[in-house]
A and B are shown apart, each in its own frame.
Chain A
Amino acid sequence: GAVVSQHPSRVICKSGTSVKIECRSLDFQATTMFWYRQFPKQSLMLMATSNEGSKATYEQGVEKDKFLINHASLTLSTLTVTSAHPEDSSFYICSASNRVDYEQYFGPGTRLTVT
């Protein structure tokens, strides 16, 4: 149980384009989802927290107009990187929590490369 998927697992896009990453909870209802960014050989940095049906709460220093987060249902959250630049290249990981144990279940991550 408590499986979280991400799609795509790997994406390459050109500078200036937008890319959408999906995070799905497959066997539970995720009332809260978290988006993290991880640079090579570094720890995870929380970007934002999203609750189903409401606006995401962004961490300090994260541009909300660049990283658009939507959590329209209890099983799906999306992160859209708008007007991507090479410095946005990173490993993006989502996690999902339910009301049962509040534990965060992590997705497998998405490797974004902007050329």
Chain B
Amino acid sequence: AQSVTQLGSHVSVSEGALVLLRCNYSSSVPPYLFWYVQYPNQGLQLLLKYTTGATLVKGINGFEAEFKKSETSFHLTKPSAHMSDAAEYFCAVTRSGGYNKLIFGAGTRLAVHP
């Protein structure tokens, strides 16, 4: 079975500050890991994903995440927050290969203050 835990349902940062959103996963098989962003009343947009290869993955809008197998973590970071980064962020895991359902974390709402 797979699961995702996002620590912190709400994170608040100042504009220009570091963004760190935490995600830990549980999986008995090699996972594929994803971060999605959701703006109000919209669908999900993929920020980045880890499948195989390099453990530090870079995504859109300056975000990146590092897959740490030993810590079962896939934390999302951005060096400098923008006001436009305020949104809901979801971490998700799936099994590698083929059509597999995504298991989502509960989400983290990011607020960015001037």
Contacts and interface: CB of A to CB of B under 8 A. Distances in A.
Interface of A: 4, 6, 31-32, 34, 41-44, 46, 49, 51, 91, 93, 95, 97, 102-109, 111
Interface of A: prevailing SS: strand
B99 A102 contact: yes
Given A108-B42, A109-B42, 18 more contacts: A34-B102, A42-B107, A43-B90, A43-B104, A44-B102, A44-B104, A49-B99, A49-B101, A51-B99, A91-B41, A93-B43, A97-B99, A102-B97, A102-B99, A103-B49, A108-B43, A109-B43, A111-B41
Contacts of B107: 42-43
Interface string B43-79: 1111001000000000000000000000000000000
Interface residues of B, number: 20
A98 to B, nearest CB: 10
Nearest to B98: A102
B104 to A, nearest CB: 5
A10 B100 CA distance: 28
The 10 closest A-B pairs by CB, nearest first: A106-B43, A106-B44, A108-B43, A32-B99, A43-B104, A109-B43, A43-B106, A44-B104, A43-B107, A107-B43
Contacts of A49: 99, 101
Contacts of B106: 42-43
From A34, A46, A103, A107, residue with most partner B Cβ within 10 Å: A103
Nearest to A10: B41
A33 to B, nearest CB: 10
The CB with the most chain A CB atoms within 10 A, among B36, B44, B49, is that of B44
A111 B105 CA distance: 21
B105 A43 contact: yes
A42 B44 CA distance: 13
